Structure 1
Amino acid sequence: MAVGVQSAPKGAAKKKRRRGLRISLRQRRALHGYLFISLWVIGFLTFQAWPFIQSFWLSFNSVDMMAGFSLNWVGLDNYREAFFIDERFVPTLLQVMRDMAIDVPVIIVFALCTAYLVNQPLRGRTFFRAVFFLPVVIASGEVLQQLYPQLQETGNTLGSTATVTRGLDIPAIVYMYLPPNIAELLLNTLNRLTLILWRSGIQILLFLAGLQGISSSLYEAAKVDGASDWEVFWKITLPMLSPIFLVNIIYSIVDSFTDRFNPMLNLIRSAAFTGQFKLGYAAALGWVYFLVVFLILLVVIAVSSRWVFYAGERD
């Protein structure tokens, strides 16, 4: 007896193929992220990958400019000179790291407070948003070159031992009432206050975007449950802003380490383009500096998994 085999309808086969091509919301968002960074990756591979590799090779050589840019292999001599011979490198590196450790927390706290204030329904808040972002627009090229010495001088007047405000020696008073380490940290922060305010525009903008992206229904539900403003801020606002915190911290660290007036970058430039034109030694300094920054960012990203909250993500 013949048994007829009934084939599945064509519509069902199409539905199966469509289901096989479906991706989750998280995968779709990841795909969008890869698409956004694809142009940067293409640009890096096209214009920066070869100089990146070349500088690494250059750091193990000395360059003879008189012989037409000839390379002489010296191995780790450039790195030994940086750590054991050059008296400027290690102190400058420690100074840059100390300045970063002071600047980044102050910038993050100031940017969060400012964004929280300008997000309130105040009259003229658009004007204040523009004022806080204005330094980002004009802080470029020759404008910043001319303004930087004045900003630095303005900041230094807050902590200078020669400055007396209304007959009071501010540093002497600070050292009188605080332990030396805390007093020095406070005065260093005051000295850099103007520059810190000048470099907070991007962070304020990102925090403001994050605040406006929090659903109002969360705040309404918290109010119905009787939560105070302080509890709402700590249990709703801060957790929802944690991804923005991570972005701002990374941005602030990179911005601090790559500032055009950074003393470490000035040291690398002077080694490369002044005196004996020690391009190999400058490349070694640059790679050590890069590895230090890279390790700091790795630590920040590794620690962030404990406190960064992504809405809609499940364990």
Structure 2
Amino acid sequence: MIKRTHIRQFLAVVDAGSFTRAAQRIRVTQPALSAGIAELERLAGTPLFLRNRRQIRLTEAGGRFLPLARDLDRGFRAADSFGRESEPQAAELKLGVIRSVPGELLQAIAAALRPSFAIELIENSDAELRAALGSGRIHMAITVLRPGERGGHIVPLYEEPLTMFVAADHPLVGRIEVTPDELAAETMIARRSCEFLGATSRFFTRHGVRPRFALRSESDERCLRMVAAGIGITTAPVSLAIDGIVPLKVAGYDFRRELGLIADPAWTALPDIAPRWAHGGETIGAIAAEWRQFKVDAAA
């Protein structure tokens, strides 16, 4: 018989993406967790996970079992709290976010969702977040939309250009436009969270620019602060601008990105989620419109 412990262990592995992290999350030993998953697979009569050295993925059967496990887990939680509360509990929301989402925007979105949802934030790359959405490990993701990507489960936020940022006292400030080769002697700062990091590198390489790097960091704030300090220059979306740095137009450098919120359609269709999502989606759309007007349009 499949027990609640099996469901808890199964969802822990799905959400954590590894047996080691899952065992830490639910505070059991890894051998105990592995034994529990093996017993669940025996009871289910089929493997639920594909295991290799680099990652754990759901099998086709595991993917079919996942929504059942989610429903069972919600039922167990509801049974635990039955009769103890007069107020309905907030629905759980696992929200994935790429690292380059502006903090102010994320704060506004999280504040809008908080009354309806108990939020857990998960930071990762676009590819990892989309994989997590597909496997049911997260419910929504704020990420970069692909060309033409639209649908009822997608809330476009805003589109913006990327630009080169330099310190406010940089000698090139005031120029209408500079050529890539004029930056050959500059020291660069690499934002590792940049979705166009590889494309930017190829752009400058094509123009014979192979700069020295003063910093490579996942932290956008740290990179931009060091630009303001004058130790290097970097490219970033205009919405990430801070005091002390100035945008500099580089000829031919015309990358743009569109941020959007993508929801799991199956999750938003659940009876207890659909009305919350309908209200939340409208609110987020209004937040994005205001953000675009006062932050993006003004900076661009």
Q: Which bin holds the TM-score, normalised by the shorter protein?
A: under 0.3
Tell me which protein shows more helix as a share of its residues.
1
Q: What's the TM-score, normalizing by structure 1?
A: 0.23
Highest RCO, 1 vs 2 (Cα 8 Å, sep ≥ 6):
1
Q: What's the TM-score, normalizing by structure 2?
A: 0.24
